[in-house]
Structures are given as structure tokens and as C-alpha cells.
Amino acid sequence: MTQHINRSVIGPHQLLYLLYDDKEVYRLEAKFSILSALRHRKNLADFTITLMTDQPEAFDGWPITVLSLSEETLGIWQGAGGYSHRRKACAIQAGVMLAGKTIFIDTDTVFFKDPALLFKRVTDDQFLMDEFELSWAQASRRAWYRPLVTLLDAEFIAPAPA
């Protein structure tokens, strides 16, 4: 990341988004998702919204905290295996340091209720997941994941099959 943000600016609870690469569809998804969260937020103090992005200018004037990501940071976050979705885990790792509770939100999420309700479900012992997409055993058989699987196997750090 290219910025350091004071935790008091973020607040105790944050929704965290990650947006990278100049793809209009994802930028529009993120904007719609953020607008839906703001639309249903009942109390301004309940949570803040943080966006980590390589397109900060696209969110000028938005009532969110925008953290600019450099090409170098995104490259490091992608890792040697070239796995672009590794960036999500890295964004979460960086983002949890900014607030007491962080909920990572995919850009295609649309809120129909106040997102503040979600923070009541997150504790030190309990996390929140919208949808469990793949187990490691399933993912490791897909061509998309082969570079990552090969790298992890070579380093003897692949997850155990479930």
C-alpha cells in the first residue's frame, strides 16, 4: 500500500473492498455495492467503508476511505505463483489492522439490509462468510489454480486435502 491511515479515521467497524485492474464492470459493481451499503446504513457511526484500489481517482468525492495501491504492491500480493485472487487474502490481512472488526466485501455484493447487522455476527472466535465456493481439494484440480498448486507443492506448503 502507498498510504498509512490512522485507525481513528477508519473507526471500529469497516466494510473492506478491493478493486484492481481497469475493468469498468468491477468498478461499477463496487460503486453499486457501496451505494447499497450507504443506502441501508441506519447510523453513520456504525461502520466506515474502506476501498483498496489502483484506481483512487474513480472514487474522488465518495464518502469512503480510499487507500491507493501501487502496481508493485499488487504484484507482491499476487505472489510468485501468479494467483490474482491471492490479493484478496493480502488485502484482508492489511485491512484487519485498520479497524476493530473488518468484513471483506466482494464488489458484486448488494445490500438489502443495514450492513451494521453483520458486525454483531463477527467475534474473535467466529467469522462470517457469504458463500463457501470451493474446498482446496476441488480447487487444486482446476486448471486456473495449477500455477498456485505447483508452487505450494514444490515448497511443501500446500493445504492438507479436506
How big is the chain by its Cα radius of gyration, in Å?
A: 17
**C-alpha separations of 55 from 78, 126, 129 in Å:** 17, 32, 26
What is the number of helices (H) and of strands (E) in the chain?
7, 4
> Which residues are within 8 A (CB) of 73 and not within 5 positions of it... i.e. 6 or more apart?
1, 2
What string of pLDDT tens digits covers the 162 residues of the chain? 445 454 555 779 999 999 999 999 999 999 999 999 999 999 999 999 999 999 999 999 999 999 999 999 999 999 988 888 899 999 999 999 999 999 999 999 999 999 999 999 988 888 888 777 888 888 888 998 888 888 888 888 888 775
Return the C-alpha torsion angle 113, 86, 102, 111, nearest 10: -10
Separation CA 21–CA 117 (nearest Å): 31
